[in-house]
Amino acid sequence: MSMIDRLRRGAAPAAVLLFLPLAALAQDDGDDDLRALLEQVGADYAEAYISPFIHAHGPNQNSALYHTASVPGTGLHVTIGLKLMATQLDENDQTFRRVLENVEVGGVLPDDPVYDPYREETGTVVMSGPTVFGDTSVDGRVTVYVNGLPIYTDHTIPGLVDTRWVPLFAPQVTVGSVYGLSATLRWFPDLDLSDYGKSSFFGWGLSWGASALLPELPVDVMIGYFEQSLDVGTLLGTQATSLHLVVSKRLHAVTVYGGVAAESSELDVRYEFAGYDALPGSAGTVAFSVEGAQDRRLTLGATVGPVNAEISHGKLTTFGAGLLYGF
């Protein structure tokens, strides 16, 4: 492999890491990346397997959107920032168990005569094992039960990255302001990842500071809206929105801020099934969408000079930090 090829192959995964938590997602060894794993299982298994990522990506994207509620009244103000967010998962999210009841097991069992006596039976399918952030050395398992006894079981896929932290990086720029209104963009150039296709990241938001209208308020107050989309080729697509109310107070060199937000997120997954899991609906193209579990949050943080740090708590707890440069 030439040096140029090496650089090309290395640059894309490195760029993906800027906004994807799945470090191994960018691996290119054929068997251990996310798509290669998902292609071995059906939709029901895949949805449970990546559920921690489904529910963590929204809180991550909707974090570190602001570092103060102070929005200048009118004038040119630009702030460039690099934001880092990380959601800490509950330890139980490293494994899962999904149960499908009253399944016609004939559509699940392998084409082996030993299972012929069961093909007309109705039973229970139990899928369990590591999630995408679970043990990478342990395979999951699908077991079919009929009349209280297991009649078939098969190994599935291991975890992808053994971690309880789901991080996200995002570059962002804020430009303002007109009568207390400013605009923020999160963006990264489109990348053509050979194994995933075209990947992109874009977000925009508007914030309005009430201080321009109500200068006598003892604290700065801001309301804002933000929406983002992040696509990783044809495999993953995410959307996240946040409507937030923020107050802040500058105390000498420290600006302390807090906010509440109503938010939503959604993850779309699409891939071609190519595995050995014969669960219903697993043939051909697998596609599903899942809404994130978190719909509101409380945020508290502080900004000191060019750095801010915050903690948000909703259904999940997310930590955020930013490195800021303004002029």
Partner 1 sequence: MRTFRSDGAGWAAALAVALSLGGCASDPVAPRDDLPPLGRDDVANQAGLLASVLVNVAPELVRAGFEPQGKDTYTFDFTGEVAGSLSLDFRCGGPEGTPCSHDQADWGRIWTPEPEGLYLAAGTDVTIAVDLDLAGTIDQAISVAVVGGSGVLRAGEYETNWSVAGLVVATSGYPAAGTLTATNGAHAVVVNFAGTGTAAVTVDDEVIGYVDLDSGVFTPAS
User: Would you tell me which residues interact with partner 1 (CB under 8 A)?
Assistant: 48, 51-52, 54-56, 87-90, 92-99, 101, 110, 112, 114-115, 124, 126, 128, 131, 143, 145, 147-154, 218, 249, 251, 256, 258, 293, 298, 300-302, 311, 313, 315-317
Residue 181 Cβ vs partner 1, minimum distance, rounded to whole Å = 27
26 vs 86 by CB, closer to partner 1: 86
Q: Give min distance, CB of 200 to partner 1, in A.
A: 26
Task: Give whichever of 257 and 273 is closer to partner 1, judged by the CB atom.
Answer: 257
Task: Give the helix ranges, DSSP H, for the chain.
Answer: 3-19, 34-38, 43-49, 51-61
| CB-based contact 84:272 (threshold 8 Å) | no
Pick the closer one to partner 1 by CB: 58 or 176: 58
Cβ closest to partner 1, residue 5 vs residue 112 = 112
DSSP state of 325: E
Minimum Å gap between C-beta 129 and partner 1 is 11
As a whole number of angstroms, the distance between CA 183 and CA 173 comes to: 8
Specify the residue, 89 or 193, whose C-beta has the smaller distance to partner 1.
89
Residue 20, sorted as left (phi over 0), alpha (psi -120 to 50) or beta, turns out to be: beta
* Reduced 3-state DSSP string for 271-285: EECCCCCCCCCCCCE
Among candidate residues 186, 185, 184, 182, the one with its CA nearest the CA of residue 208: 182
Please list the residues that pair with 96 across neighbouring strands. 129
Give the shortest CB-33-to-partner 1 separation in angstroms.
21
Whichever of 242 and 248 has its CB closer to partner 1, that residue is 248
The answer to whether 220 touches 70, Cβ cutoff 8 Å, is yes
Distance in Å, CB of 131 to partner 1, minimum: 5
Closest contact distance (angstroms) between CB of 246 and partner 1 is 13
| Beta-strand relationship, 220-232 and 236-251 | antiparallel
Cβ at position 151, least distance to partner 1 in Å: 5
Q: Which residues contact 321 (CB under 8 A, 6 or more apart)?
A: 64, 83, 84, 85, 307, 308, 309, 310
Amino acid letter, residue 164: R
- Rounded least distance, CB 117 to partner 1, Å: 10
Distance of alpha carbon 40 from alpha carbon 278, whole angstroms: 10
In terms of Cα–Cα distance, which of 127, 118, 124 is closest to 101?
124
Which CB atom, from 62 or from 199, has the smaller least distance to partner 1? 62
By beta-carbon proximity to partner 1, the closer residue of 97 and 198 is: 97
Using DSSP's 3-state secondary structure scheme, residue 215 falls into: coil
